[in-house]
A and B are shown apart, each in its own frame.
Chain A
Amino acid sequence: MIPSGLARPTAQEAAPLVHVLCERVAQASGSRVLAIKGPVVAMQGLRAPRVSADVDVLVHPDDLDRFVAAMTAAGWHGAVETTAPRLVRAHSVNLLHDHWPVGIDVHHHFPGFLAADGDVFDALWERRARIELAGVPVSTADPVSQVAIVGLHLLREDAAGEGARVADLVERAGQVLSPSDLDELLDLAVRTDSVVPLRPVLVRLGLERAATIDATHPAELATWFDRAGARPGTVWGRQLSQTAWWRWPQVLWHSVRLTDAEIATYHGGGATRRELARARRRRLRKGLGLVPGILRGYLTGRHGHPSR
């Protein structure tokens, strides 16, 4: 008569609990972990509340293996790895659990912070705050750090910062951050070498000095703009540009085919051969629309990065 049991939480319920779970695992394993983005940012007033499909944490790169091992011991497992080439190096480990309806993106690098990952984490860790989720205090990036993190996340696909989400972040940050917070934001951006990637946000927040500060990691900056200017398909064009022409059929075949696990997990395939074949046909039809992106990737791969 008393209904109770082991049904799954909703994503909205799960997000704060999974952050708490990460905090607990971090403490038990001696890992430095910060909650970033997601419900924490909404609580800090930097975005409207919404339900996410995953939660994000940033872990010190030296603690990554230890933290992931401890999460694995708690029943979490890695998501299916993609075999597609990447424009940027892997920056997170995606963890899943059958019981929890949200995954965890465990970031050990956050694109746009051009300084060394350990130095970036140290800068964010020094500023960390505690916020209560599901009645439990959790270590999180403070509002100043979150503006940088969320800003970089949004600018990754909107480098000029012209979209509505960047405008919303700027408006909210202008309300949440004090003048001294804004100065600290610029200091943090300098320390983590993220001024240039973050420039559209910083300048709009009145930090005009950001327009005159250059990056100190030019190779990483080039990669940032390379990724920010990419279109769907660009990565495969880049792969072709780095492959001998007689191996192109193999690359193109793999770009359509991928692995069964990838097709099933990320491209709407199912468990049967027929469902996988149908998903691959859909992917092929969609792939024809990616030709401009593939060409761009090929040309920039052969002739260098486009002007910015």
Chain B
Amino acid sequence: MDPIVLDDHRAPAPVWRRSPALAAIEAPSRVVLLHLDHIDVPARILEDTSAVIWHAIDGLRDSAAIVSAVADRFGIDEDIIRDQVARFLDDLRAAELVEALASIPEAA
């Protein structure tokens, strides 16, 4: 799986959405996720910053918009978190908890 490169201007930035095959218990600073296609895999728990990033994944935002939303939430510069958010999105994608779409689906 190729890592997402945030500054790649050659192609449209992918939009991130949550996998439709999830059961989720969500609170502002804690999210528990069970992948329905991998029920033998322990539930994934996201806390604090990761939970905030998760909440920013709404099927409409691309990586830059997610970085912006998270930076806004914590009142910090986007440059400070850009790489970490990118790595975290890749991590979620590897676990099939999110999908990177080339464009916003019409249903969204």
Contacts and interface: CB of A to CB of B under 8 A. Distances in A.
Interface size class of A (residues with CB under 8 A): 20 to 34
A74 B25 contact: no
A74 B39 contact: yes
Contacts of A17: 23, 25, 32, 34, 43
A99 B25 CA distance: 16
A136 B40 contact: no
B58 interface: no
Contacts of B88: 2, 4
A263 B82 CA distance: 54
B43 A9 contact: yes
B42 A99 contact: yes
Interface stretch (A19-27, A143-151, A234-242): A19-27
Interface size class of B (residues with CB under 8 A): 20 to 34
B46 interface: yes
A134 B49 contact: no
A136 B39 CA distance: 14
Contacts of B76: none
A132 to B, nearest CB: 10
B24 interface: yes
Contacts of B47: 3-4
Given A13-B32, A20-B34, A5 B25 contact: no
Contact of B39 (A6, A9, A21): A21
Contacts of A4: 44-47, 50, 88, 91
Interface string B13-42: 000000000111100000010101001101
B48 interface: yes
A7 B45 contact: yes
Contacts of B87: 2
A134 B48 contact: no
B45 A134 contact: no
A77 B84 CA distance: 38
Give the most central of B24, B39, B91: most A CB within 10 Å.
B39
Contacts of A24: 36, 39
A134 B25 contact: yes
Contacts of B53: 2
Contacts of B24: 134-135
A3 to B, nearest CB: 5
Task: Pick the 6 closest A-B CB pairs, nearest first.
Answer: A134-B23, A20-B23, A99-B42, A4-B50, A13-B25, A136-B23
Interface of A: 1-9, 13-14, 16-17, 20-21, 24-25, 73-75, 99-100, 133-136
